[in-house]
Amino acid sequence: MTVLRTPPGSLRWAGRDLGSWPVLGALAVLWLVFQAMNPNFLSADNLVNLALQAAPLGVLTLGVVLVLLVGQIDLSTGAVSGLAAAVVAVGMSQQGWPGWLAVLAAVASGAVVGWGYGWAFTRLGVPSFVLTLAGLLVTLGLQVRVLGSTGSLNLPFESWLVRLMQQAFLPPWLAYLLVALVVAGYLGVRLVERRRRAAAELPVEPWRPVAARAALLAAATLVPTWYLQTNRGVGVSVAVFLGLVLVVDLLLRRTRWGRSVRAVGSNVGSAHRAGFAVRQVYTSAFVACSSLAALGGVMAAGRLAAANQGSGGSDTNLTVIAAAVIGGTSLFGGRGSAWSAPLGVLVVGTISSGLTLLNLDSAPRYIVTGLVLALAVTLDAVGRRRAPVTGR
Amino acid sequence: MNGRAGNRRGPLEGEPAVLAEPPALALHGVTHSYGAVRALVDVDLDVRRHEVVAVVGENGAGKSTLVGVMSGVLVPDAGEVVVDGRETQLTSPGQARGLGIATVFQDLALCEDLDVVENLFLGQEIRFGPLLDEVAMEREAQRLLAQLAVRVPSVRAPVASLSGGQRQAVAIARALLGEPRVLVLDEPTAALGVTQTAEVLTLIERVRDAGFGVVLASHNLTDVQAVADRVVVLRRGRLNGEFDADVAGYEQIVAAITGVAIGPGEGR
Ligand SMILES: Nc1ncnc2c1ncn2[C@@H]1O[C@H](COP(=O)(O)OP(=O)(O)O)[C@@H](O)[C@H]1O
Ligand SMILES: [Mg+2]
């Protein structure tokens, strides 16, 4: 049998996604290389730092994943995070707002930017590439204006935000409890699912692979936790980021909203004819992305105890897009997962941290990150083209 | 021109039991233009339960536009849509679906990155509280596919990995989900090989026998003659004849499609 009419750009590896394996492979290679070049790279101290650096960036990346999933792009997440950093700094140190209010205002400013994107994209039909490029410039201007004449503001060191992001680590018992909860939760969900599938007379997965995956999950969470505990431990910001990843993952895989996001990114015409409110789906993705970017900006401001004109600047806008794609989310929409954010940001953070340890300037960092990105995009594009859609 | 007078079924003929109820779906005086292109001009159409109505015509005759009107994708410039005897405005695909009109679009309207179950329930997911009930959806999908004798490698395989025939079957199965009253199909066999075409035609007959009204838009007269009870010809957006499929000859229909008049002796 032959297949006709396979729309361009709709193919993938025959029935099989490579999943996260390419990223994990890349990560392993990078770690081995950097460790060989500098024995401090895999030290617990350095990995604790790496995780702390990666967390705010990861929150931005998580938002980018959502926008990529609906098949759009947001070039301005770094600028939005910078605006949010400025808002939270001005609110806390100049206006004397309570911390929660300053954080809320910062995240709300992000949400407003995202809503503006959603409105202009769905009502005026402006391509998101241009739209968010314009938004980037506008947001940069707002950031400078909010910061005022000094161009830089310090957050009070004793404020909870700074303490939480800089010095707060999960107590060991809590870290291990969370690990145990995650593993138990995974097993519990699998168990309930098995029961329900058996009751519905659907094929159930044999025990062995389930147990193997649970064991893998336990190892993959327990070992890093233990290793980080030998130093300062798991930062609160890292835990917040991973918590957000879990929530977004649940939303994407198990709610109607998540289904609509993937459907719109896969084929917007089909999603519309299936009855989804396509405009709302786009807008929700833009709002979620900008809000997460703002939250990431707040976390970064807390970590640095400062906001300035450079916050979220230079290459941040593009680095997070690179991280999302390296993590396995397709630039073409419809394919990807929340887990792209931690994976991608870990790769990007590894390159940055490894080269910093080697006392190299930013030149090789940009080049290596760029090459890894090129590799990821190639895999993505080839994955779409390769799948021979044969009749069966 | 021709044909219209020939085999038009009078309103009082046919089985009285079926005629007693209003058509499951009827269009009156539907007109639609894309800018300067008049895609439909004053088109009437009705479909009853247990009946396959074929809409035939050349490429560009307006078949897909008519399907768009019936499926709620297009709001016509003029004309009315009557569902089960009640006049209705179809303004969105979801609304048409809610009224029991299910459509298999020419391009199938599937999402290639989503798996078979996800596509079957796209836009009408079963939920368990706020969460999707994947187990219930998969069970229902298995039941539906088995009932329609549709075979796919796995219901959890992405649609991108399916063959053209399998995709077509998934699209039809999706349309049948939730027991619609009217099934509208746009060129369901255009992309298929011989075996797959035969399977789809069998499927259409089974659907008709189950009591659905079926509208089959097609430019393939062989397929149409195999399953249709009634044939409606569209030509340049206008109705150009209506035939009883059991009585009308091939040449007669072709003549109506192409607009070539045939002599009295030529049609069978
Ligand atoms: N979206 C559109 N914009 C402009 N013209 C269109 C559009 N869709 C269809 N048409 C035109 O309307 C006419 C009817 O098209 P269509 O309904 O697709 O015919 P068919 O399905 O019978 O091939 C054609 O002349 C076609 O070019
Ligand atoms: Mg057509």
CA distance B50 to chain A (A): 25
Question: Best interface-test mutation with B: which of A190, A270, A272 has the largest number of B CBs within 10 A?
Answer: A270
Listing DSSP states for B108-148 in one string gives TT--TTSBHHHHHTTTS--EETTEE-HHHHHHHHHHHHHHT
B139-166 mean pLDDT: 90
Which ranges of chain A does DSSP label H, i.e. alpha helix? 21-37, 44-69, 77-89, 99-119, 128-147, 160-166, 172-199, 207-229, 236-254, 256-266, 268-273, 278-304, 316-326, 340-357, 362-386
The more confidently predicted of residues B268 and B110 is B110
More confident residue, A313 or A137: A137
CA dihedral A66, A70, A71, A77 (to 10 degrees): -30
Shortest Cα–Cα distance, B193 to chain A (Å): 7
Do the chains contact at B92 and A275, CB–CB below 8 Å? yes
What integer pLDDT is reported at residue B267 of this predicted model?
A: 42
Query: Is B61 near ligand 1, meaning CB less than 6 Å away?
Result: yes
Please tell me the number of Cα atoms within 13 Å of A155 on its side-chain side: 33
Residue-averaged pLDDT of chain B? 87
B97 to A275: CB separation less than 8 angstroms, yes or no: yes
Which tokens belong to A305?
A: 């105890």
User: How many interchain CB pairs under 8 A, A with B?
Assistant: 128
In short, whether B213's Cβ falls inside 6 Å of ligand 1 is no
Whole-number pLDDT of residue B159: 94
**Could you read off the pLDDT of A101-156 as tens digits, one per residue?**
999 999 999 999 999 999 999 999 999 999 999 999 999 999 999 998 888 899 98
**Each residue's pLDDT tens digit, A207-259:** 898 899 999 999 999 999 999 999 999 999 999 999 999 999 999 999 999 99
Q: How far is Cα A163 from Cα A161, in angstroms, rounded to an integer?
A: 6
Which pLDDT belongs to residue A2? 34
| Cβ neighbours for A152, distance < 8 A, ≥ 6 positions apart | A306, A307, A308, A309
Cβ-defined contact of B153 to A334 (cutoff 8 Å): no
- Asked if residue B60 has its Cβ within 6 Å of ligand 1, the reply is yes
**Each residue's pLDDT tens digit, A35-68:** 999 999 999 999 999 999 999 999 999 999 999 9
- What does DSSP assign to residue B36? T
Interstrand relation of B230-235 and B51-56 (parallel, antiparallel or unpaired): parallel
Question: Mean pLDDT throughout B42-49?
Answer: 95
Of all residues in chain B, the percent with pLDDT exceeding 70 is 90
Mean pLDDT over B41-52 rounds to 95
Kindly state the DSSP code that residue A9 receives in the 8-state scheme: T
Over the stretch A247-288, which tens digit does the pLDDT of each residue have?
Answer: 999 999 999 999 999 999 999 999 999 999 999 999 999 999
Considering only CB atoms, B138 lies closest to which of A7, A202, A335, namely: A202
Average pLDDT over residues A316-344: 94
User: Does residue A365 have a pLDDT over 90?
Assistant: no
What was the pLDDT predicted at B259?
85
The answer to whether B102 touches B171, Cβ cutoff 8 Å, is no
The rounded distance, in Å, linking the Cα atoms of B1 and A41 is: 85
Report residue B56 as tokens. 């035939």
**Which ligand lies nearest the alpha carbon of B65?**
1
**How buried is B58 (Cβ within 10 angstroms: 0-12 exposed, 13-18 middle, 19+ buried)?**
middle
Tokens 């009751």 map to which residue?
A199
Residue type, B81: V
Q: How far is CA A48 from CA A43, A166, A349, A352, in A?
A: 9, 12, 12, 14
Name the fold adopted by A19-168+235-385. Answer: ABC transporter involved in vitamin B12 uptake, BtuC (1.10.3470)
Give me the residues of B, 21-80, that contact A with CB < 8 A. 71, 73
Q: A389 — phi, psi (to 5°)?
A: -85, 90
The residues pairing with A208 across neighbouring beta strands, listed in sequence order, are none
Sign, CA torsion A356/A357/A361/A367: negative
Span B171-202, pLDDT tens digits: 999 998 988 899 999 999 887 888 888 888 99
In chain A, domain spans = 19-168+235-385, 169-234
Nearest to B242, CA basis, from A170, B252, A185: B252
In the prediction, which pLDDT does B20 show? 66
Q: How long, in residues, is chain B?
A: 268
CB A59 within 8 A of CB A239: no
Q: What is the DSSP string of B140-191?
A: HHHHHHHHTT---S-TTSBGGGS-HHHHHHHHHHHHHTT--SEEEEESTTTT
Q: How confident is the model at residue A158 (pLDDT cuts 50, 70, 90)?
A: confident
ipTM score of the complex?
0.88
Q: How many CB atoms lie within 10 A of CB B219?
A: 18
Ligand located closest to B60 CA: 1
Using a CB–CB cutoff of 8 Å, tell me whether B91 touches chain A: no
The pLDDT of residue A11? 35
Distance CA A109, CA A83 (A): 8
Among the ranges given (A265-269, A311-315, A377-381, B137-141), the one the predictor scored with the smallest mean pLDDT: A311-315
Question: So what's the pLDDT on residue B4?
Answer: 40
How far apart, in whole angstroms, are the C-alpha atoms of residue A61 and residue A55? 10
Report whether pLDDT(A360) > 70. Answer: yes
Residue of chain B with shortest Cα separation from A256: B132
Is the CB of B68 within 6 Å of ligand 1?
no
Question: Mean of the pLDDT values across residues A93-104?
Answer: 92
CB contact at 8 A, B159 and B111 = yes
Percent with pLDDT over 90 in chain B: 68
Evaluate whether B186 touches B18 at the Cβ level (below 8 Å).
Answer: no
Chain A residues with CB under 8 Å of a chain B CB are 1-5, 7, 10-12, 14-15, 193, 196-197, 200-202, 254-256, 259, 262-263, 265-267, 269-276, 334-335, 387, 389-392
Question: pLDDT tens for residues B58-76?
Answer: 999 999 999 999 999 999 9
Question: How many other β-carbons are positioned within 10 Å of the β-carbon of residue A230?
Answer: 12
More confident residue, A326 or A380: A326
Around Cβ B207, how many Cβ atoms within 10 Å? 21
pLDDT band at B206 (very low <50, low <70, confident <90, very high): confident
Query: What letter would DSSP give residue A389?
Result: -
Give residue-wise pLDDT tens across range B1-37. 443 444 444 444 444 455 567 899 999 999 999 999 9
CB–CB contact B109 A266 (8 Å): no
- Read off the pLDDT band of A385 (50, 70, 90): low
- Ligand 1: residue of B31, B34, B220 to mutate (most ligand atoms within 8 A of CB) is B34
Give the whole-number percent of chain A exceeding pLDDT 90: 77
pLDDT of residue A390: 37
- B162 contacts on A by Cβ (under 8 Å): 389, 392
